[in-house]
Structure 1
Amino acid sequence: MRGIRGAITVDANTEKDIGEAAQKLVGAMLAANNVCTEDIASMLFTVTSDLNAAFPAAAVRKMAGFDRVPMLCSPEIDVPGSLSQCIRVLMLVNTSAGQDDIKHVYLGGAARLRPDLV
């Protein structure tokens, strides 16, 4: 089992923007790592305190094959000066890939969180 990290910033605190960003991020994570939903053990989403219009997991559950994937949403720690309007995800997948083969995905303003991985 391996963890795949991802993050994306959201333009506005709306159900539509949160949902579209979550789906875009998860789709990019799947594509970058050649993962299918059957490989996913679970997903944990966190959101910054300024994103409360929707649950990212609710939008991802609407994607094909995600209705049976266990997902949970939680607030991110509100550290002063940290990146705002950000969705983060930890996807746990069953894979034979080595740790160095995993491609973590940081989109939009979230690219500044891990410049070493972008």
Structure 2
Amino acid sequence: MAIRGIRGAISVEENSVTAINAATVKVLQSMITTNQIAVEDIVSVFFTATADIDAVYPAQAAREMGWVNVPMLCFQEMQVRDSLKKIIRVLLHVNTDKNQAEIIHVYLGEAQKLRPDLTGEINNGK
């Protein structure tokens, strides 16, 4: 079994606890469902958020999903001129027997513009 990284990102409608938590839950659920990951196989999670998202840590939503034993860190995303606003990015580290090519990265909402080359079946309606 190997540790693999799964990328995900989602746009947030507004800088509010409700919107941030809802978006975080949506992207995390999509990532684990699409890649058939059990919570006990999650090694750790890194979250970044653009500077315009500061109402709550995205990790709070994961804790509310029951991910109480998963190590998580939240960071502010690097500010790049003309980059997308109100974006939460996720790097999920998991124990899996899947090879790198079998991993499906999940980009939702406006975040699909970030890495169209990595978007998987979930983003293409398949």
- Alpha-carbon distance, 1:60 to partner: 1.1
Give the equivalent residue in structure 2 for 1:81: 82
- The Cα RMSD (Å) is 0.6
- Alpha-carbon distance, 1:19 to partner: 0.4
Q: Distance in 2 between matches of 1:116 and 1:24?
A: 21
Number of residue pairs matched by the alignment: 117
Runs of 4+ deviating beyond 3 Å: none
Return the match for 1:62 from 57, 64, 76. 64
Structure 1 residue 93 corresponds to structure 2 residue 94: yes
- Alpha-carbon distance, 1:116 to partner: 1.4
**Structure 2: which amino acid aligns with 1:81?**
D
Give the equivalent residue in structure 2 for 1:117: 118
TM-score (norm 1): 0.97
Structure 2: gaps (5+ residues)? 120-126
Return the match for 2:23 from 21, 24, 37. 21
Q: Distance in 2 between matches of 1:5 and 1:114?
A: 10
- Alpha-carbon distance, 1:117 to partner: 2.2
| SS of equivalent to 1:16 | helix
Q: Distance in 1 between matches of 2:65 and 2:80?
A: 32
- Alpha-carbon distance, 1:86 to partner: 0.1
Structure 1: gaps (5+ residues)? none
Return the match for 2:45 from 43, 46, 49. 43
> What is the identity percentage for the equivalent residue pairs of Structure 1 and Structure 2?
49
